[in-house]
Structure 1
Amino acid sequence: MAPENETGNGTGNETVNDHANVSAPSGAAIRKLFADCDAVLFDCDGVLVNSEPISLATLVDVLAHFGAPLTLAEVAARFTGRSSSAPIDHIRDETGKDIRDQFKPFYYDLLFARYDHELVKIDGIDSVLAALKKRQLGFCISSSSSIERLGKTMDVTGLGPWFDGRIYSADFVANGKPAPDLFLYAADDMGYAPNQAIVVEDSVAGVTAAVAAGMKCIGFVGGGHYADDRAGAANRLYDAGADIVLSDMMELSNALGEA
């Protein structure tokens, strides 16, 4: 299936700016949230890069291949923000087959071929990272994706140097999101207490994990996978416990850049 709302040729220089009318918090509200913040933990897919339309559409094809088909809407509802164990469990439940050894190689072959041509950064993310660096705040990636997939993402988009090895995967912990394990692991490894950290997340599972970790949370609904329902997505993230929800990374960049 073709990805939705994608632009660019995958060279790493393009960005996606695909936001709609979601009520934006004021710059003052954003700065207040950062008043006691020392570190920012970014989810990757749907927050740093516009990968979710690609990955969800590819997952539809993979589930059909393994005999456990779901629609794109069903895949998005069930698996956004979750690790690969979730679709693997779905296939086992539907077919009785254990395809753990087959799933990732098959999925990644399809996914990475599309990444090379279709994956782009979220518009404004470089400005956000530059503002955090200027403020001397720590930041990292804390993603449900595997290290292999995160490495491919960094290579294609050129985002890797921003994080200087501070890339944490669900591979590192026993329980993925919505459990808090990954966020707690990342913060501890960087030397921060949970109450010093802000998480930036696009999924209900991720926001739930941030709240369970005792961290503040910024929801983000500017990715292509929310193009048809930004307001609804924002409401779901607020309901899950997000402190504020943004649809444009430049809102965050501009607020952080102000005195």
Structure 2
Amino acid sequence: MLIIFDCDGVLIDSEVVAARVHADLLAELGLTLTLEEVITRFTGMPHGKIAEMLSRELGRPLPKDYRQRSTLELDRRLEHVQPIEGVHALLGRLTGPRCVCSNSSSVRLQLSLTSTGLWEHFHPHVFSAPEVGRSKPAPDVFLHAAKVFDVPPREVLVIEDSALGVAGAVEAGMRVIGFTGGGHSWSGHAESLKQAGATRVVPRLSDVATAVEELRA
């Protein structure tokens, strides 16, 4: 069985960091959104879609340098990002092939996985969705990973924290464990993952290991 991990919000506690960056920059533009609003509305969403939605709310396009500013600020903060609790123990416990499939760029993935000591657990099998096809919720990156490992989708298990990621994996024909243990988790998070098609939802990475073993059996 191939196990595919999302990165942000599953391996590293970065979704809440990204949400704070957007909330801070949007406040400067006169659009006040709470951290919870940013998290629940935009977690897992590609930048282009986020920009489209925010432009509508602002009543004008986002500044041309918004993406550059948000990227630079997030990269700065990710230098100090923490791994999700229990991730090293989980990776030490699991056997078999594994990889990362994320909507983040390959540069961002290497930065954040290296800073948290996780890069060596996955390199070179770290796949950026927009660099191999369409971003999630499209199934492209999941299907790409299955092809690289020569594993049929039905023999792939995906660990995802966003409904968009779950939907993409389900469309690819894969089983999904939803994860709600990141610092960005909110009331209703688990239900949103179930509605998107997660086989089960767990709040701790230690629960992921148990779920994987049961699904393998």
* TM class by smaller structure: 0.7 to 0.9
Contact 1:41 1:142 survives alignment (8 Å): yes
Aligned-residue CA RMSD in angstroms?
A: 2.3
Give aligned pairs, total. 214
Alignment of 1:213-232 (within 5 A): 213-226=172-185, 229=187, 232=188
Inter-partner Cα distance in structure 1 for 2:156 and 2:211: 17
For structure 1, the 5+ residue unaligned runs are 1-37
Give the corresponding residue for 2:129.
Answer: 170
Inter-partner Cα distance in structure 2 for 1:184 and 1:235: 25
- Give the drift of 1:249: 0.8
Give the corresponding residue for 1:97.
Answer: 61
Change (3 A) 1:183 1:67: farther
Give the corresponding residue for 2:106.
Answer: 147
**Residue-by-residue CA offset, 1:224-249 (whole Å, 9 max, x unaligned):** 111x53xx221221121100111111
1:127 aligns to 2:89 (yes or no)? yes
Contact 2:15 2:183 survives alignment (8 Å): yes
1:60 aligns to 2:23 (yes or no)? yes
Give the corresponding residue for 1:114.
Answer: 77
1:252 aligns to 2:217 (yes or no)? no
1:39 aligns to 2:2 (yes or no)? yes
Give the corresponding residue for 1:200.
Answer: 159
What TM-score do you get using the length of structure 2 for normalisation? Answer: 0.88
Contact 1:68 1:90 survives alignment (8 Å): no
Question: Partner of 2:77: helix, strand, or coil?
Answer: helix
Change (3 A) 1:192 1:225: same
Inter-partner Cα distance in structure 2 for 1:170 and 1:64: 29
Give the corresponding residue for 2:33.
Answer: 70
- Give the drift of 1:50: 0.9
Contact 2:79 2:111 survives alignment (8 Å): no
Question: Partner of 1:224: helix, strand, or coil?
Answer: coil
Change (3 A) 1:255 1:127: farther
Give the corresponding residue for 1:7.
Answer: none
Relative contact order, higher structure (CA 8 A, sep 6+): 1
What TM-score do you get using the length of structure 1 for normalisation? Answer: 0.75
Give the corresponding residue for 1:185.
Answer: 144
1:243 aligns to 2:190 (yes or no)? no
Contact 2:105 2:131 survives alignment (8 Å): no
Change (3 A) 1:105 1:66: same
